Amino acid sequence: MNPLDFTVEELDKLFDLADDIKADPKKYAHACEGKKLATCFYEPSTRTRLSFEAAMLNLGGQVLGFSDAGSSSASKGESVSDTIRIISCYADICAMRHPKEGAPMVAAGRSGIPVINAGDGGHQHPTQTLTDLLTIRALKGRLGHFTIGLCGDLKFGRTVHSLINALIRYPDIHFIFISPPELKVPDYIIDMLSEKGITYEEVIRLEDSIAQLDLLYMTRVQRERFFNEEDYVRLKDFYILNKEKMKLAKDDMLILHPLPRVNEISVEVDEDPRAVYFRQAQYGVYVRMALILTLLESACLS
């Protein structure tokens, strides 16, 4: 449901498994034979859904599900609680994305099978966070002891909220929040950082802080998170990363992005070796494979 559902040690185990899958995918090609993953996506997200489906298929399992609420019984008014009870009869594990915050938590409470939160409204997106953490660990060689800049929509961007929650458990992390005032990180996150004594800065211009960063996490300004079009149009181009800004960055700074991007990263940056967002998507499949395996194993044990 939340990146904090796993302890740091459990996450290490999960990432070790993901590393092993990456090193020898054939070893796991039949690990989930005879198992089914239900992808219940109440709002469209081709990327995350396909990543889950690819993960299950790579493990030799099968997938079923729906990709928007219109093609599910939710359009007839069925509750999440009822839907998951039915899905539990058809599949061994479920990945759920829902526009309402807390929906996967409700499902998990009613379900007879493991439920993975594949994103709930503007709240959490834990598997993206696992992807981000695995990417950082693989490419930086460590989780901790760095300055990370989070740029763009920090108010509604659930990937950002989940990532912050996960990173605060690692030592010596300094956050720099780069956003327009309208899209600042929510106060509960700021409160949490202050309580835990974790250092952070809030800045408006990307150019002012990019030189300090070991990692830059870019996010899209999402149209669907706005109540009106006018606000969206006004803010969407606020922060664009281009070659000029990259000249100010450290040689080993990594650029991450949960994707899809709109225009916040110019395509000219794609060729920069510091741009790792496409590799990040591949790590996403490995970590989802590791997660499915781990949850199915614990479901069998329980």
**Residue 20 or 43: which CB sits closer to another protein?**
43
Residue from 14, 38, 103, 136 touching another protein (CB under 8 A): that is 103
Residue from 44, 60, 102, 144 touching another protein (CB under 8 A): that is 102
Residue from 89, 171, 181, 187 touching another protein (CB under 8 A): that is 187
Residue from 36, 98, 125, 137 touching another protein (CB under 8 A): that is 98
Residue from 35, 123, 137, 288 touching another protein (CB under 8 A): that is 123
- State in angstroms the smallest separation of the CB of 176 from another protein: 23
**CA 223 to the chain's CA centroid:** 18
- What is the spatial distance between Cα 124 and Cα 161, in angstroms, rounded to a whole number? 7
DSSP 8-state secondary structure symbol assigned to residue 186: P
Binding status of residue 95 toward another protein by CB under 8 A: no
Binding status of residue 158 toward another protein by CB under 8 A: no
- State in angstroms the smallest separation of the CB of 104 from another protein: 9
Structure tokens at 17: 């498994």
Q: Which residues does the annotation mark as catalytic?
A: 47-48, 76, 97, 125
Residue from 25, 60, 121, 144 touching another protein (CB under 8 A): that is 121
For residues 148 and 122, the answer to whether their CB atoms sit within 8 Å is: no
Residue with tokens 């952070």: 200
Vertex 92: Cα angle to 160 and 3 (nearest 5): 20
193-232: contacts with another protein (CB under 8 A)? 195
Binding status of residue 160 toward another protein by CB under 8 A: no
- State in angstroms the smallest separation of the CB of 78 from another protein: 10
**How many positions of this chain bind another protein (CB under 8 A)?**
19
| Alpha-carbon distance values, 250 to 131, 134, 173, 180 (Å) | 23, 21, 17, 24
- What is the spatial distance between Cα 213 and Cα 233, in angstroms, rounded to a whole number? 28
Binding status of residue 72 toward another protein by CB under 8 A: no
3-state secondary structure of 83: helix
- State in angstroms the smallest separation of the CB of 83 from another protein: 11
**Residue 77 or 273: which CB sits closer to another protein?**
77
- What is the spatial distance between Cα 295 and Cα 93, in angstroms, rounded to a whole number? 8
- Sign for the pseudo-dihedral over CA of 59, 64, 66, 67: positive
For residues 175 and 192, the answer to whether their CB atoms sit within 8 Å is: no
Binding status of residue 185 toward another protein by CB under 8 A: no
- State in angstroms the smallest separation of the CB of 252 from another protein: 35
**Residue 44 or 121: which CB sits closer to another protein?**
121
Binding status of residue 81 toward another protein by CB under 8 A: yes
Question: Considering only CA atoms, which of 126, 212, 120, 202 is closest in space to residue 164?
Answer: 126
- State in angstroms the smallest separation of the CB of 239 from another protein: 24
3-state secondary structure of 63: strand
Side-chain-facing half-sphere of 189: CA atoms under 13 Å: 24
By CB under 8 A, name the binding residues for another protein: 79-81, 98-103, 105-106, 120-123, 187-188, 191, 195
